Structure 1
Amino acid sequence: MDHDLVGQLFKKYYNDVLLYAMSLTRNASEAEDLVSEAFFKALAIADDVKNFKAWILKVCRNLFLNKKRKHSKIVELSEDMSSECDDVLQQIVKDENYRALYNAIGLLPQNLKEVILLFYFEDMRVDAISLIVGKSESNVKVMLYRGREQIKQILEK
């Protein structure tokens, strides 16, 4: 792939991919590493990727899952990591309701959280999400429904 094209795609999608990586890792430095690796892989792909955003998010997800498997441990936030995530998120999230919603989403199981973030925060369609997470479109719709229901329960507490 042309390096100039990768540069343009990097500028266009960096923030989206970084937010997605942050939702996976809950750690700013790990998220930045994932984003760098994902865009590095973009250098090797063919020019005919139809939906680059969906593709790069799937690459990011797969890199995360591979690292998680390799280290075979659950990523946990320490107090330092939590404040580091909060600093990054506070730049993006200014509204108190938005923050409450984001925190509620953070309490969801990983599979539901991922689908909710892609659908509502990345404005992705169900068909693109199904490609990223490897589930059927109807399964993604069910996951969206369950995620919304769990968020309602969390916010009502």
Structure 2
Amino acid sequence: MEEYKFNECVRTQSKRLYLIALSFTKNQADAEDILQNVYLKLFNCKKEFESDEHIAKWLTKVCINESKDLLRLHFRKRSVPLEEAINLSCIDNTQDIDLIKAVMSLPKNQRAVIHLFYFEDLQINEIAKLLGVKESTVKARLSRARQKLKAKLGDDDYE
């Protein structure tokens, strides 16, 4: 990949990929490590991408796989306060902070589908493919996560 194209990917995809990694790890340092691994793979990748959208989807898949690998390798439950896990300086208002905290408190599998569906605008079939599960599983996780978020946040502001 050409250097200018690589730099453009880093500039445009970093925040999105960081949030994906963070949704899996709940740990800022681990999310940053995952992001570095993702960009190292992109830098060393010899594959020709058809479009920017193709690159974005490839990076999303690599980020998810790197996140799963890290969790599987370490098999640890290292918890930190949500304020530490979330870089609150990049979030604009209190309502967004409350929403992100509520999403981060969900179980990992529900947190992942919520993030991919709402924040990455992926379709259910795309999420199923990325996570390696059936579409019905994605729908069930999405439904359970929505119920939990409604209970935590109330259903007035987040419909």
Place the TM-score, normalised by the shorter chain, in its bin: 0.7 to 0.9
Whole-Å separation in 2 of the counterparts to 1:83 and 1:155: 18
Deviation at 1:148, TM superposition (A): 0.5
1:1-157 maps to which residues of 2 (within 5 A)? 1-43=1-43, 44-48=45-49, 51-77=54-80, 79=81, 82-86=82-86, 88=87, 90-156=88-154
- SS of structure 1 residue aligned to 2:122: coil
Q: What is the identity, as a one-letter code, of the residue corresponding to 2:6?
A: V
Alignment length (residue pairs): 151
Give the fraction of aligned pairs with identical amino acids, expressed as a percent. Answer: 28
How far off is 1:113 after superposition? 0.5
In the TM superposition, what is the alpha-carbon distance from 1:11 to its structure 2 partner? Answer: 1.4
1:105-128 superposed Cα distances (whole Å, 9 cap, x missing partner): 122110010110111122222232
SS of the aligned residue for 1:39 comes to helix
Q: In 2, are the aligned partners of 1:129 and 1:140 still within 8 Å (CA)?
A: yes
Tell me, in whole angstroms, the C-alpha distance in 2 between the residues paired with 1:72 and 1:123.
Answer: 29
Q: Give 3-state SS (helix, strand or coil) of 1:103's partner.
A: helix
CA RMSD of aligned residues (A): 2.1
| Letter of the structure 2 residue corresponding to residue 47 of structure 1 | E
Q: TM-score under structure 2 normalisation?
A: 0.81
Sort the Cα spacing of 1:100 and 1:46 in 2 relative to 1 into closer, same or farther, 3 A.
Answer: same
Structure 1 window deviating more from structure 2 (52-61 vs 31-40): it is: 52-61
Distance in 2 between residues matched to 1:92 and 1:125, nearest whole Å: 26
